[in-house]
Amino acid sequence: VILNHFHYYYSFSSPTSLIFSPQTSNYVFLFSSSSLPFSSLFPIQSLSTFTFITLLKNIFHPSYYWTRFLLSLEFFCSELLKEKPLKQLILFWILSMSSGNSNGATVVSTGSTKIPAVAHPLAEEPDEIASNIKYHAAYSPHFSLFKFEPEQAYYSTADSVRDRLIQQWNETYLHYHKADPKQTYYLSMEYLQGRALTNAIGNLNTQDAYADALNKLGHDLEELVEQEKDAALGNGGLGRLASCFLDSMATLNLPAWGYGLRYRYGLFKQRITKDGQEEIAEDWLEKFSPWEVVRHDIVFPVRFFGHVEVKPDGSRRWIGGEVVQALAYDVPIPGYKTKNTISLRLWEAKARADDFDLFQFNDGQYESAAQLHSRAQQICAVLYPGDATENGKLLRLKQQFFLCSASLQDIISRFKERKQGKDSREWTEFPSRVAVQLNDTHPTLAIPELMRLLMDEEGLGWDEAWDITTRTIAYTNHTVLPEALEKWSQHVMWKLLPRHMEIIEEIDKRFVAMIHAAQNNLEHKIDSLRILDNNPQKPVVRMANLCVVSAHSVNGVAQLHTDILKAELFADYVTIWPTKFQNKTNGITPRRWLRFCNPDLSTIITKWLKTEEWVTNLDLLAGLRKIADNADLQAEWASAKMASKVRLAQYIEQMTGISIDSNTLFDIQVKRIHEYKRQLLNILGAIYRYKKLKEMSPEDRKKTTPRTIMIGGKAFATYTNAKRIVKLVNDVGAVVNTDPEVNSYLKVVFVPNYNVSVAEKLIPGSELSQHISTAGMEASGTSNMKFALNGCLIIGTLDGANVEIREEIGEENFFLFGATADDVPRLRKERERGLFKPDPRFEEAKQFIRSGAFGNYDYGPLLDSLEGNSGYGRGDYFLVGHDFSTYMDAQARVDEAYKDRKLWLKMSILSTAGSGKFSSDRTIAQYAKEIWNIQECRVP
């Protein structure tokens, strides 16, 4: 019992997992097999007082009073307890007192001594799991010992689950250490993990056992799940994709880790008021997260500002400035039905104690005394701080460099550590042991930082460092939007990262020389190809160009997106490196996005396919195609969908106060609010529908298809037009939903504070989902995949992954409209020449807004963006007006199809059946084989 408790307590709960530490051996206890004679307990004299007391506190199930006694003992007798005989005497006395079972705990006998039994932390039986949960409620207390309400029960349950996760996590780490495989490190500024409890017990295959255990304790698992806050580490599809990828990496037993930042307040929490969107801090760490383990043994220095020192031998070193500490927090990521549990390592910035000026503080200069502490806290305060000012730009750049520097130092440290019995490792081995994937341009500074570490810290020459860097780093592009292809001011870069600017200048210089020497046909394009844009008015560093020049692989995230990259955005680079560019169509994890969030539908799929193997082999869903017409399957499918709709309706009423009818068509668009995603097109269509309903007779209204339109997503705080769209949706809803003539046939709901947990409620209950971005502007999208997987039909353009989804599920099961990506440039030019003729329905919808039908708010600037032929904020750049007519026609086809229930259900089943391609398992397997060159490394 003592061995088990010591091992589990310290490897699970300690800030430093001692299982990884050589000094662990100093804390080994040996026992005889008969009766625990204390002469065989050693090296007890080497234990610190803290360790000894902690051991006593956690071996037994002492009452509140024994705990208080031990605390007093620790406080008053620290010196006396250094003596070995006293330690043995106290331990013997506690065991003797416990043998009478005075505190009511279960006891077992070991020889002549009775001691309390402790359930195994990896127990799988409900009774034992319940015991573990009770144990954590008492001895990992985050709340009053006298309460076991849902919140307390959630944290105790999470602690119990974490025991198992960290056991597997430790085994995974040690297996990697021994096997020394090539390992991938995924660098991303965003992760949208969602709630961890359901995902963890689902992947561990203990969901039913935990549900039973909690029932025995008087709690419901679903109730407890609602106590967990989403980790506010991301904003949109970029972060959710990264989290799906981590799940697949673990499930496929691939040696891989994620790196990110531990944002204190995330992006923001969205509150909807009469004035529209209000942003408030999202304090997801208000009480703490039970899923992370702070690693006080993993700390790296990260420097900002300063200057470059040139040494007599010509070597260079970055010195001065300010240095903050990067402290690691590890979040275990379990694979599905496998022991492999990988890590998401999040960095938090802090200052050293030496940086606190005690003299100034005692002199009353409180703010000055803690300046560096304050600046360190700012780094991970929020995701994407406003960058309109130079200070804002500096902070964003600090965030990006902080992630890159801390992660690379950690990667290099691990590379050196795994030397497999050698005195040291050869740097030529680095690319064969390390793969670094940049998730968009945010981690681009990993390129010059790896060069700096190799040259300045490890003493390598330029050529060797460059060879290692270019063979190690790969880049994923996620956008063709100009504002998202980052360009940093050279002035700001020189100020914050002088050594890195030297390295970037040298990379740029050598690239230009290569063009002159080997690609003279591109000499006239050097200014657009090079990394540095030296425009005297606004010199910048083009981060995407730096990635393309430096990475060994550049990939798009959908076939259409990759085609655009190769034909337009990076076309000239393709002539230089034709094999560097490839496609990796995004995917989603079927565990979170079907198996766990939609258990009713999952059960039906498993029943009809006669296997659950589809959870890890999504291609098996194709077996539903041949039975899509089956009446029994359709009846079960409809029943599952209705149950999800009822739950969603209850949630909507709880969150918004709006009652919606689950018998109406649930039409949902949820994603980041942006003009190119065209929520404006959606709401204009809803406005036109409302106007026509108002004009109908009561008899004609009864012939229509009743519809509930739900829109959700966050608009960036500084994105004015996006916030106007949020305001418009809410204003339209306020009118439509209270109109007694119409609200039985149409409702409009804005779903506030959209996140992963909200998506897990919306998607199972959805019947139609809108993915209506301007063609050629959405790189991929993954919410379309989630909706399709859950049997939701899509209305959309030929953009991003819509193209491939339509191919897989069948053109007849996709409501297509709008211009194609090839059409868009021509249509914009025609608009500039005044050749656009708007659909009368489009004009009618706009005029209805201008009439004040939805309030007195000035929507003029928003509507003006749809007017005119050209100019800033005008000219309908996103082609809302052009696509409105075909959009409304497609919506009419939706209405007709929904009336034919058998047809609709068949289309829904075929949508799920055609979703096999869009598993992130497939995507990650392709990355592993074709970019990272890593192999499975399964924990035995």
DSSP string, 886-940: HHHHHHHHHHHHHH-HHHHHHHHHHHHHTTGGGBHHHHHHHHIIIII--------
Indicate whether 71 pLDDT > 50: no
Domains of the chain: 2-118 (no CATH), 180-194+230-585 (3.40.50.2000), 663-909 (3.40.50.2000)
**Among residues 672, 701, 707, 922, which one is catalytic?**
672
Q: Is 672 an annotated catalytic residue?
A: yes
**CA dihedral sign, ordered 579, 585, 589, 590:** negative
Distances (CA, A) of 469 to 401, 445, 803, 860: 17, 12, 35, 51
Q: What is the mean pLDDT of residues 347-365?
A: 88
Q: What is the mean pLDDT of residues 814-824?
A: 97
**Among residues 269, 345, 714, 786, which one is catalytic?**
786
Sequence-separated contacts (24+) of 388-396 with Cβ below 8 Å: 388/718, 390/492, 393/488, 393/489, 393/492, 394/492, 394/495, 394/496
- Within a 13 Å sphere around the CA of 274, how many CA atoms are in the beta-carbon half? 3
Q: What is the mean pLDDT of residues 891-909?
A: 98
Q: Picking from 116-130, 362-376, 493-507, 545-559, which range would have the lowest pLDDT averaged per residue?
A: 116-130
Q: What is the 3-state secondary structure (H, E, C) of 759-785?
A: HHHHCCCCCEEEECCCCCCCCCCCHHH
Give the confidence band of 421 by pLDDT, cuts at 50, 70, 90: confident
- Within a 13 Å sphere around the CA of 721, how many CA atoms are in the beta-carbon half? 19
Q: What is the mean pLDDT of residues 453-469?
A: 98
Q: Is 584 an annotated catalytic residue?
A: no
Indicate whether 530 pLDDT > 80: yes
**CA dihedral sign, ordered 638, 642, 643, 645:** positive
Closest CA to 754 of 385, 351, 166, 277: 277
- Within a 13 Å sphere around the CA of 840, how many CA atoms are in the beta-carbon half? 0
304 backbone dihedrals φ, ψ, rounded to 5°: -130, 155
E-strand stretches of 204-312? 256-261, 269-273, 276-280, 293-304, 307-310
Give the pLDDT confidence score for residue 50 in this predicted structure. Answer: 52
Alpha helices (H) along 706-839 = 720-736, 756-762, 783-789, 802-809, 823-832
**Among residues 54, 664, 708, 782, which one is catalytic?**
782
Q: List CB contacts of 463: < 8 A, sequence separation 6 or more.
A: none
**Among residues 566, 645, 677, 761, which one is catalytic?**
677
Q: What is the pTM of this model?
A: 0.88
Q: What is the 3-state secondary structure (H, E, C) of 415-438?
A: HHHCCCCCCCCCHHHHHHHEEEEE
- Tokens coding 26: 């100093």
Q: Is 595 an annotated catalytic residue?
A: no
Q: Is 16 an annotated catalytic residue?
A: no
The string of pLDDT tens digits covering residues 844-871 is 999 999 999 999 999 999 999 999 887 6
Share of the chain above pLDDT 90, in %: 79
Are 384 and 267 in contact by the 8 Å Cβ rule? The answer is yes
Distance CA 17, CA 301 (A): 21
Average pLDDT, the chain: 88
Instruction: State the angle between helix axes of 49-59 and 64-76 in degrees (0 to 180), rounded to the nearest 10.
Output: 170
Q: Is 677 an annotated catalytic residue?
A: yes
* DSSP letter (8 states) at residue 618: G
Distance CA 635, CA 645 (A): 15
Give the pLDDT confidence score for residue 40 in this predicted structure. Answer: 34
**Among residues 478, 591, 645, 882, which one is catalytic?**
478
E-strand stretches of 144-247? 183-187
Give the confidence band of 186 by pLDDT, cuts at 50, 70, 90: very high
Give the pLDDT confidence score for residue 51 in this predicted structure. Answer: 54
Give the pLDDT confidence score for residue 140 in this predicted structure. Answer: 80
Q: List CB contacts of 371: < 8 A, sequence separation 6 or more.
A: none
Distance CA 849, CA 855 (A): 9
Residue with tokens 């929507």: 859
- Tokens coding 402: 């902080």
Give the confidence band of 45 by pLDDT, cuts at 50, 70, 90: very low
Distance CA 535, CA 490 (A): 10
Give the pLDDT confidence score for residue 314 in this predicted structure. Answer: 87
131 or 740: which leads in pLDDT: 740
Q: Is 782 an annotated catalytic residue?
A: yes
Closest CA to 865 of 854, 849, 851: 849
- On the 0-12 / 13-18 / 19+ scale of CB atoms within 10 A, 934 is buried
Indicate whether 55 pLDDT > 70: no
Using DSSP's 3-state secondary structure scheme, residue 523 falls into: helix
For 149, other C-beta atoms within 10 Å of its C-beta total 11
Indicate whether 66 pLDDT > 50: no
Q: What is the mean pLDDT of residues 651-656?
A: 97
